[in-house]
């Protein structure tokens, strides 16, 4: 009883002390004075960093806007109904998703209008399950099933169909540039043309190849009618045979200066200056006479092969990011209107 009452008395005392009007107003005045002077000091002296922050933010936003404007400009070209729409499908498998396919997805995969990852298993990557086992000997089965799947479910999503490996790097905008001049209702087939085995040649699998809408129809029809069969496990060559059988035309994808766009190897296999020499092993199959050194390759590269992880990002950086400010590129094909007769296409 006594402790309760004494604490009550104490409380009472404290309360009466605090409640004294002078004390309250003094405390309020203290807080008010402190805060207002602090505000005054910060507003007087922090003008520089604040405006810096604002400027930096504006610059960052502006740079972001420039970049998205740049990429949107290309997508806006897709809106008209006759525009080039590319469906990409990547030949991959469960073992490569983490080490390779993931990096494709984060780099050039984003530039495809539609992209499908074909595997033997369905996953949340997401991958499509083809009813085919993994292994080199099943690559052509995978290709057949992949195109059949696309024909059945995704035919209307695109008018061009790109097949690439999980170690291919593709610049979709440059592929689009080539395709925009072609008619997808024609039976056409594009890639890095090789000459052995098939008389009209065939396109390297690793460098990526493209079928027009009509070419896709004919490929599927070929298997329906038995005109095309799984006669070999060599995917790119076997598909090339089917293309020939179904009268699909191979396209010369070199630029107006005769330089290649699709490549079956990384850049350093082509661009390094060499003394004139007989064709090295990795160019033995080339249908068109290849150049070595700076004239190997078009500025508007479409693909490279054997590109793993780090190199996917390196190429992405070189293609879409690193640039020489204000540089007037030598190769400006849109300005060479009169030069149509002067092509370097030897053959």
Partner 1 sequence: MLSEGGSFMKGMVMGGLFCLVLSLLGSFSPVTESRTDDNHHHHHHVKAASKDELQQLSDSRLQELNNQLQVYCVVMVQPKSLVYWATALDTWTKHCDKAEFYTSEASKALEAIDLNEKDDWARLRKALKHAYENAGDIRWFFVAQPNTFAIIENLKYLVLTKDPEQPFYLGKSVKSGELEYVELNSGIVLSYEALKRLVNVFQDEDKCPERGRQLWKLSDDKQLAVCLKFTGVFAENGEDVHGKGLFNSKTVDSLISESMKQNPSNVVEGCCSDLAVTFSGLSANQMQVMMFGVYRLRPYGHDFHDLLTFFPPKGSDND
Of residues 43-102, which lie at the interface with partner 1 (CB under 8 A)? 45-49, 55-56, 58-60, 62-63, 66, 70-71, 73-74, 77
- Least separation in angstroms between residue 272's CB and partner 1 is 5
DSSP 80: S
- Least separation in angstroms between residue 172's CB and partner 1 is 8
Q: Out of 11, 35, 78, 336, point to the residue binding partner 1 (CB under 8 A).
A: 35
List of residues 6+ apart from 23 with CB closer than 8 A: 17
Single out the segment in contact with partner 1 by CB under 8 A; choices: 86-94, 130-138, 150-158, 321-329: 321-329
Size of the site for partner 1 (CB under 8 A): 79
Nearer to partner 1, 159 or 291 (CB): 291
Give dist(CA 174, CA 245) in Å, integer: 29
Site for partner 1 in 171-210 (CB under 8 A): 171-174, 176-177
Q: Is 231 in the site for partner 1 (CB under 8 A)?
A: no
Single out the segment in contact with partner 1 by CB under 8 A; choices: 136-144, 195-203, 233-241, 297-305: 297-305
Q: Is 28 in the site for partner 1 (CB under 8 A)?
A: yes
Assign residue 102 a region (left: φ > 0; alpha: ψ between -120 and 50; beta: otherwise).
alpha
List of residues 6+ apart from 197 with CB closer than 8 A: 237, 240, 241
Q: Which of 338, 345, 183, 176 is nearest to 254 (CA)?
A: 345
Nearer to partner 1, 9 or 54 (CB): 54
- Is the CB of residue 170 less than 8 Å from the CB of residue 307? no
Nearer to partner 1, 35 or 289 (CB): 35
Site for partner 1 in 105-124 (CB under 8 A): 106-107
The alpha carbon of 195 is separated from its chain's Cα centroid by a whole number of angstroms, namely: 29
Give dist(CA 124, CA 31) in Å, integer: 57
Site for partner 1 in 266-285 (CB under 8 A): 267-268, 271-273
Nearer to partner 1, 1 or 328 (CB): 328
- Convert 116-126 to b/e letters by CB count within 10 Å (16 or more is b): bbbbbeeeebe
């Amino acid at each position: 009883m006594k402790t309760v009452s004494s604490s009550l008395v104490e409380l009472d005392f404290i309360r009466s002390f605090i409640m004294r009007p002078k004390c309250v107003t003094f405390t309020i005045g203290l807080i008010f004075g402190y805060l207002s002077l602090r505000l005054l000091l910060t507003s007087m002296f922090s003008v520089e960093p604040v405006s810096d922050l604002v400027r930096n933010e504006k610059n960052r936003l502006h740079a972001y806007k420039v970049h998205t404007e740049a990429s949107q400009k290309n997508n806006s070209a897709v809106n008209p109904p006759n525009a080039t729409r590319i469906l990409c499908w990547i030949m991959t498998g469960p073992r490569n998703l983490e080490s390779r396919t993931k990096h494709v997805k984060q780099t050039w995969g984003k530039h495809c209008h539609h992209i499908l990852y074909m595997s033997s298993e369905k996953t949340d990557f997401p991958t499509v399950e083809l009813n085919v086992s993994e292994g080199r000997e099943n690559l052509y089965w995978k290709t057949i099933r992949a195109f059949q799947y696309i024909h059945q479910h995704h035919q209307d999503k695109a008018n061009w169909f790109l097949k690439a490996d999980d170690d291919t790097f593709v610049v979709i905008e440059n592929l689009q540039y080539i395709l925009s001049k072609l008619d997808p209702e024609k039976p056409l087939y594009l890639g890095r043309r090789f000459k052995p085995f098939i008389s009209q040649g065939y396109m390297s699998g690793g460098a990526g190849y493209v079928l027009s809408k009509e070419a896709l129809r004919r490929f599927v029809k070929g298997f329906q009618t038995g005109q095309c069969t799984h006669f070999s496990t060599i995917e790119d060559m076997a598909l090339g045979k089917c293309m020939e059988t179904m009268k699909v035309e191979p396209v010369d994808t070199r630029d107006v200066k005769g330089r290649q766009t699709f490549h079956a190897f990384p850049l350093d296999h082509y661009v390094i200056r060499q003394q004139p020499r007989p064709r090295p092993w990795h160019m033995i199959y080339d249908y068109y006479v290849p150049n070595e050194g700076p004239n190997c390759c078009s500025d508007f590269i479409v693909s490279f092969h054997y590109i793993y992880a780090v190199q996917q990002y390196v190429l992405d950086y070189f293609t879409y990011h690193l640039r020489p400010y204000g540089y007037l590129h030598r190769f400006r094909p849109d300005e060479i209107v009169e030069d149509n007769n002067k092509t370097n296409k030897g053959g």
